[in-house]
């Protein structure tokens, strides 16, 4: 079964409280979502492999380290996942970006895919799938399926979200046992498809739509 990690770093927890507040406006919400995404990826990237290198400094030779593993792709689930991309790219500027468009039916909460564009070498990459909300898990599971169909290796995929519901974590772990999930918080439950207490509709809050 894939591992589930709640990232309890104080800065992540502090910033999450800012965006949970219903009075947090669009501009601040957008900024802080990206800041949390950066902090989370900083932690998620902790197991990236390194190689030994020699670097000529102005004073001599340093025996140093550089990243040695797979190149990275960040894949946001549209729309709300877009809000996390810049935060990831701030830390990993060379990452390629794939997009998977997904919306939930308002009544059934079933996800529908409407767009997909991935780097052609997705099968060779370490993939960070980003979406602020993991609710029923339907969108995440459909996005992970789409990635696999296009050659991604589930062992190379990490799912990074801000708020997760227990139902969604369970569903993704069952459907995709090779994918580890990282969240800033595990909330209480779902109510009519929405995470409680959650932070509301992440896409609407990021883009100022309603
Ligand atoms: C939200 C969110 C996730 C999905 C989570 O997207 O960003 O993609 O719901 O719910 P689930 O786990 O039950 O599938 P939404 O469908 O509202 O689209 P949006 O990002 O365009 O607002
Ligand atoms: N999508 C959201 O944006 N918020 C929720 O609480 C659930 C799904």
pLDDT tens digits, the chain, 210 residues: what are they?
899 999 999 999 999 999 999 999 999 999 999 999 999 999 999 999 999 999 999 999 999 999 998 999 999 999 999 999 999 999 999 999 999 999 999 899 999 999 999 999 999 999 999 999 999 999 999 999 999 999 999 999 999 999 999 999 999 999 999 999 999 999 999 999 999 999 999 999 999 998
Distance (angstroms) between ligand 2 centre and the Cα of 3 equals 22
How many other CB atoms are found less than 10 A from the CB of residue 93? Answer: 7
Rounded to a whole number of angstroms, the CA Rg of the chain reads: 18
Ligand nearest to the CA of 207: 1
% helix / strand / coil in the chain, to the nearest 5?
Answer: 35, 35, 30
Ligand 1, residues 33, 76, 100, 131: which to mutate, most atoms within 8 A of Cβ?
A: 131
| Distance separating alpha carbons of residues 104 and 149, to the nearest angstrom | 21
Ligand nearest to the CA of 77: 1
pTM: 0.97
Decide if domain 4-51+68-207 falls under CATH 3.40.50.2020. Answer: yes
The pLDDT value given to residue 210: 83
Q: So where are the chain's domains?
A: 4-51+68-207
SS3 100: strand
How high is the ipTM of this complex? 0.98
The pLDDT value given to residue 1: 87
């Amino acid at each position: 079964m894939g591992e589930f990690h709640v990232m309890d770093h104080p800065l992540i927890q502090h910033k999450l409280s800012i965006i949970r507040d219903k009075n947090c406006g669009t501009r601040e919400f957008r900024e802080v979502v990206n800041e949390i995404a950066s902090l989370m990826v900083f932690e998620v990237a902790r197991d990236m492999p390194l190689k030994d290198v020699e670097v000529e400094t102005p004073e001599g030779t340093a025996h140093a380290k550089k990243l040695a593993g797979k190149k990275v792709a960040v894949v946001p689930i549209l729309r709300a996942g877009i809000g996390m991309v810049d935060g990831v790219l701030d830390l990993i500027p060379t990452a390629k970006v794939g997009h998977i468009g997904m919306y939930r039916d308002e009544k059934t909460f079933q996800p529908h895919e409407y767009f997909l564009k991935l780097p052609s070498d997705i099968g060779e990459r370490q993939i960070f799938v980003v979406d602020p909300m993991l609710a029923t898990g339907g969108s995440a599971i459909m996005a992970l399926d789409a990635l696999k169909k296009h050659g991604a290796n589930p062992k190379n995929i990490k799912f990074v979200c801000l708020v997760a519901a227990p139902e969604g974590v369970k569903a993704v772990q069952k459907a995709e046992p090779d994918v580890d999930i990282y969240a800033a918080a595990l909330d209480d439950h779902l109510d009519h498809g929405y995470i409680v207490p959650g932070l509301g509709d992440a896409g609407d809050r990021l883009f100022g739509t309603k």
